[in-house]
Amino acid sequence: MTLTIELPDSLTQQFRARRIPEKKIQSVALAALEIWLTQEETTNASRFAESAAPFVRRLIAQNRVLFETLAQR
């Protein structure tokens, strides 16, 4: 399966300004999707019932140091 994500210009500019390679961006996106899929289902809804955006925001907030370290490599 191939997934193509169109990034907003503001995000693209930040990646370019920090010189973050596309491979690293793909790795972070893949890790976020894998973690999202393996999270525990809520009691009244499936894991797909809510948007992934809040989950990804929490994931990044909880692992900001890790993501910043990866971005600098």
For residue range 14-56, list pLDDT tens digits in order. Answer: 999 999 999 989 888 888 888 878 775 543 455 556 677 787 7
DSSP per-residue codes, 2-40? ----PPPHHHHHHHHHTT--HHHHHHHHHHHHHHHHHSP
Instruction: Give the residue with greater pLDDT, 44 vs 60.
Output: 60
CB 63 within 8 A of CB 35: no
Q: What is the pLDDT of residue 18?
A: 92
Residue 13's pLDDT is what? 93
Q: Considering the entire predicted model, what is its pTM?
A: 0.53
Domain boundaries, the chain: 21-72
Q: Say which residues have a Cβ less than 8 Å from residue 49's Cβ, sequence separation at least 6.
A: 42
More confident residue, 49 or 3: 3
Report the chain's C-alpha Rg in angstroms. 14
